[in-house]
Amino acid sequence: MTFLTPLRISSLPSLNARTFSFNLGRLVLARTPPQWRPSIVRHPRPFSSHSSLRSRHEQHSERKPTTQEGKKPLRENIYTWPNLLTVSRIVACPILGYTIVKGDFVAATSLLVYAGLTDFVDGFLARRYNMRSVLGTILDPAADKTLMTTLTVSLAYNGMLPVPLAAIILGRDVALSLSAFYIRYTSLPSPKTWARYWDFSLPSAEVRPTTISKYNTALQLLLMGTTTISPLLPADISLPLQGLQWVVATTTIWSGLSYIFTKDAVKVISQRRRT
């Protein structure tokens, strides 16, 4: 009969508390005869609850993607029919001003009709076929202001519009334009570079016209259009035009102040929104 070799505690290596039980079992198993040894699956390293929890945490961290790495800048499609029609309206403004200065009011009236039709069509397409874009909310009022500025300068140059009224209209538009440049810079996500500033596929802020501003734009267009076609009319409408000029001067000042005291006039686009 084969007996177990006495186990000397002094022969044990220096063990820490974490691996003592496992290494003690290995030492006893090594001194046990082969026929008495149970079939035990050996672990490549001592078992530790801390290491097990740490490995599970590492696996969970690997499976969970970070939101900062997956975040991409918000972009949108700016090449739509409403935007193209709006740009064409802006391009036609210098030609309109030239025809008014030269006294060709028939051609000027035709360009005014074209501007009105494209303004209606691009709004219809944007609503009907869901072609809205943040750039469109900027281009559409910009086209209206470009048209208004062209008519104001050319009509005042011909003496068909009072200079003080022209100064009020142009002063308001210049102030709003400078404010738009400032809002674009402050709302643009980092990095704020020159190329990103003029990249309108990266929307940063949305301009919402106030109610009085919509009425003011309609009244201004009515005044400018009526003044432009007045030489073609058989009757004299100078007196009604003077009354309309006073109304437009009042609404122009009122609408300019509304952008300052209205909270919802400018809305900053959140970068978490996805298109």
Two tokens, residue 127? 């609503």
Instruction: Answer yes or no: is 177 within a domain.
Output: yes
Q: How many CA atoms lie within 13 A of 25 on its CB side?
A: 11
Rounded to a whole number of angstroms, the distance between the first and last alpha carbons of the chain is 83
- For residue 69, what pLDDT is reported? 44
Dihedral sign for Cα atoms in the order 210, 215, 217, 220: negative
Instruction: Answer yes or no: is 237 within a domain.
Output: yes
Range of the domain at 151: 134-268
Q: What is the pLDDT of residues 173-206, one digit of tens each?
A: 888 878 777 777 777 777 888 887 777 667 667 6
Q: What is the largest CA-CA distance in the chain?
A: 137
Instruction: Answer yes or no: is 17 within a domain.
Output: no
Instruction: Answer yes or no: is 107 within a domain.
Output: no
The pTM score is 0.61
Nearest to 126 by CA among 89, 78, 180: 78
Q: Is residue 191 reached through a cis peptide bond, with omega within 30 degrees of 0 on the bond before it? A: yes
Q: How far, in Å, CA of 185 to CA of 208, rounded?
A: 18
Instruction: Answer yes or no: is 244 within a domain.
Output: yes
Number of domains in the chain: 1
- For residue 191, what pLDDT is reported? 80
Instruction: Answer yes or no: is 251 within a domain.
Output: yes
Q: What is the pLDDT of residues 40-54, one digit of tens each?
A: 545 555 544 444 445
